[in-house]
Amino acid sequence: MVKKAEQVVKEVAEEVERSPLLGVARKVLMAGIGAVALAQDEMEEFVNKLVERGEIAEQDGRKLVREVVERRKKEAAAAEGELDKRLEQLLARMNVPTKSDIDTLSAKITALTKKVDELKKG
């Protein structure tokens, strides 16, 4: 999850160079990642206090933390998919070319350059 989040942040950071609006999106994303990490730390601390007080068994506490983390991972994956979809829609509305678009154009330019060079020689 952390690697995927880092990858998303990196991709967004690359797009930020092209659009100030995406700079705002990057800041929101970074704040969200920080909030998730903080919430998980606080949840684990809370469960540990319950265990220390004897209000729940240690095994139950570990199980509860595991269940919450798994649920958060599933929700994060769903949110990441939705974020990707919306970001793609936003970039399309802004008429920002995708990496695939740029790669396709680069290949066409290379092919045309070769043809022009061949015509110059012939």
Q: Is the pTM of this model over 0.85?
A: no
- Residues 6 or more apart in contact with residue 96 via CB below 8 angstroms: 15, 18, 19
Helix residue spans in 1-122 (DSSP H): 2-16, 20-53, 58-93, 99-121
Query: How far is Cα 23 from Cα 16, in angstroms, rounded to an integer?
Result: 5
Query: How far is Cα 77 from Cα 99, in angstroms, rounded to an integer?
Result: 23
Q: Where are the domains of the chain?
A: 2-96
What are 65-115's pLDDT values in tens digits? 888 888 888 887 888 888 888 888 888 888 888 888 889 999 999 999 999
Task: Report how far Cα 41 is from the mean position of its chain's Cα atoms.
Answer: 21
What are 8-25's pLDDT values in tens digits? 666 656 655 566 666 676
